[in-house]
Amino acid sequence: MAPKAIIAPSILSADFADLGAACSRTIEQGADWLHVDIMDGHFVPNLTFGPPVVAKIRSHVDRPTEGHGKGTFDCHMMIAEPKKWVKEFKAAGCDLYCFHYEAAVNSSAAESPEAHSDLKTSPRELIRYIHQQGMLAGIAIKPATKAEVLYEVLDSADEAERPDMVLVMTVEPGFGGQKFMASELPKVQALRERYPELNIEVDGGLGPGTIDQAADAGANVIVAGSAVFGAQDPAGVIALLREAVDKRGGKL
């Protein structure tokens, strides 16, 4: 059976002038996690915020009491140098550090052994490092990246090198409010068939009109920004997303 629904509203669509209150309110409205989009203006053509802001909003939301429980800060690191920021985000209150496969591979290939050796990494090494710092590890892929690249880490015999979640982007990362790319769902389906227990997150264009397709494919961690923060009834939308995933749980 697929894991249960985890609803993670993306605070990119929240009112930034009222971020702390928006975060605590969203958890009260039924969200499990908060999806925190970190963008560096290099890996993606947009900028958001860094550790000081995460630390401030952390003080408005209780930490999860276990593993990936309620209140988890799911930090989606759309940054070119994912290893560089692990410790800072841990200190700021991040619980799940989800880096992009493309960024880890590029930084690994681009750096010579002499230069920045402390930042040189590979997806497996980075997952191990994130775990060593006491966070859950996620690995994300952009639409142009095949799901098969994730098999290498997911099949690792060493638990410390296996991710706790994968994120299949259903838009090009960078901005909220984009159109859902159903073309990405075969990746979700392939991952779900191969890894029945895996937390598979989808992000981009999710809402009442697209959740059924994503849930049918096997996604269980649902990021929704504009659909939640732009709703008249955010609690109703969160409940609808959860129900769509959980009613399919036994069928996958």
Interface contacts to ligand 5SP, rule CB under 6 A: 10, 12-13, 35, 37, 76, 171, 173-178, 203-206, 223-227
Residue 50 annotated as lining a ligand binding site:
no
Residue 205 annotated as lining a ligand binding site:
yes
Q: Please say whether the beta carbons of 229 and 193 come within 8 A.
A: no
Residue 122 annotated as lining a ligand binding site:
no
Q: Please say whether the beta carbons of 147 and 141 come within 8 A.
A: yes
State the DSSP code for 179: P
Residue 176 annotated as lining a ligand binding site:
yes
Q: Is 58 or 100 the residue whose CB approaches ligand 5SP more closely?
A: 100
What residue has token string 């609690």? Answer: 235
Residue 174 annotated as lining a ligand binding site:
yes
Q: Please say whether the beta carbons of 94 and 137 come within 8 A.
A: no
Of the candidates 73, 64, 61, the residue with the CA atom closest to the CA atom of residue 37:
73
CA diameter of the chain: 54
Smallest separation, CB 18 to ligand 5SP (Å): 17
Q: Is 24 or 226 the residue whose CB approaches ligand 5SP more closely?
A: 226
State the DSSP code for 214: H
Smallest separation, CB 112 to ligand 5SP (Å): 31
Q: Is 161 or 173 the residue whose CB approaches ligand 5SP more closely?
A: 173
Residue nearest to ligand 5SP (CB): 225
User: Could you report how far apart the first and last alpha carbons of the chain are, in Å?
Assistant: 6
Main-chain dihedrals φ then ψ at residue 6, nearest 5 degrees: -130, 120
Smallest separation, CB 79 to ligand 5SP (Å): 12
Strands 6-9 and 72-78: unpaired
Smallest separation, CB 204 to ligand 5SP (Å): 5
List, by residue number, the catalytic residues. Answer: 37, 203
Cα–Cα distances (Å) from 32 to 64, 76, 220, 223, 226, in that order, read 10, 16, 12, 11, 17
Q: Is 31 or 161 the residue whose CB approaches ligand 5SP more closely?
A: 31
**Which residues line the annotated binding site for a divalent metal cation?**
35, 37, 76, 203
